[in-house]
Structure 1
């Protein structure tokens, strides 16, 4: 759709303040990067203020090391009436060269708000038009369905059930 960017990429160096005692970037820092890239992509697609409503299927595959060149890519893979699902991939490599490695990936969901009353508003729709896009859209739907099932299971746990 003209005027609506489907993907966004952020690039930066992993800084000493991002890492733990083992010299690897904290998972929470990586999650912050994912949220920032997802937010920027959601605003770019919808043209509205957006909020994160869910993250599903987050997988930490490989560590991000201090001084790595980090690339965080968010790509729209599904839209609802007011929601947008983005596949986010975090890749890293030595800034001196070499191949990038997949470090983390997930699906993140944003909802666009009206900015006045904080009510959800419609977003421009997107339809998968290739086999690859259809697979990603289906993947996003499955991940979020599984995540909802986990939430429902956790919600049934009472304080008496915990050790």
Structure 2
């Protein structure tokens, strides 16, 4: 049996079609890269096709310049029966200087599905290091917070 892959890094060059009206990379392009990395990470962990169930806590820390080399780092920080919480950070740099800086970070929850589109079991991830344990515990706290936010958001649902 192959050991599941817990983390992955995807790299992109920020292209002119990624630009917004302010001349920087559009937030939507960054969110697409995040979703791609979350999928690749979740699929590598679960060995299954995965769908995005939630993306939250997206924090845009710094703009990304067109022409930048962009890295999207993704890693599993919690697993449920069929879900995987993926922590992501986006790092950008000028490819000539390689002066890397954090630009964005967030959490994405992916769900593994079978060939019928039904949720499918995923391998359990067990935290080993102190950092792993902190991130795992934070994922659990965030689940509780999302429940409360979901209840409050019901006012906007028809």
The TM-score with structure 2 as length reference comes to 0.93
The residue that corresponds to 1:124 in the other structure is 123
- SS in structure 2 of the partner of residue 156 of structure 1: helix
The residue that corresponds to 2:43 in the other structure is 43
The C-alpha deviation readout for 1:10-66, integer Å capped at 9, x for no partner, is 112100000112221111111111000000111111111110101121111111111
Contact 1:57 1:147 survives alignment (8 Å) = no
Please tell me the root mean square deviation across aligned C-alpha atoms, in Å: 1.6
Aligned pairs, how many? 158
Q: Closer, same or farther in 2 for the Cα pair 1:156/1:17, shift >3 Å?
A: same
Structure 1, unaligned stretches of length 5 or more?
none
Offset at residue 152 of structure 1 (A): 2.1
The TM-score with structure 1 as length reference comes to 0.91
Q: Which runs of 4+ in 1 moved over 6 A?
A: none
Q: Given the alignment of the two structures, is residue 114 of structure 1 paired with residue 132 of structure 2, yes or no? A: no
Offset at residue 142 of structure 1 (A): 2.3
**Bigger shift: residues 46-55 or 21-30:** 21-30
Structure 2, unaligned stretches of length 5 or more?
none
Q: How does 1:81-160 map to 2 (within 5 A)?
A: 81-115=81-115, 117-157=116-156
- Mapped to 1, the partners of 2:119 and 2:136 lie a distance apart of 22
The residue that corresponds to 2:54 in the other structure is 54
- Mapped to 2, the partners of 1:158 and 1:69 lie a distance apart of 40
Q: How does 1:3-22 map to 2 (within 5 A)?
A: 3-22=3-22
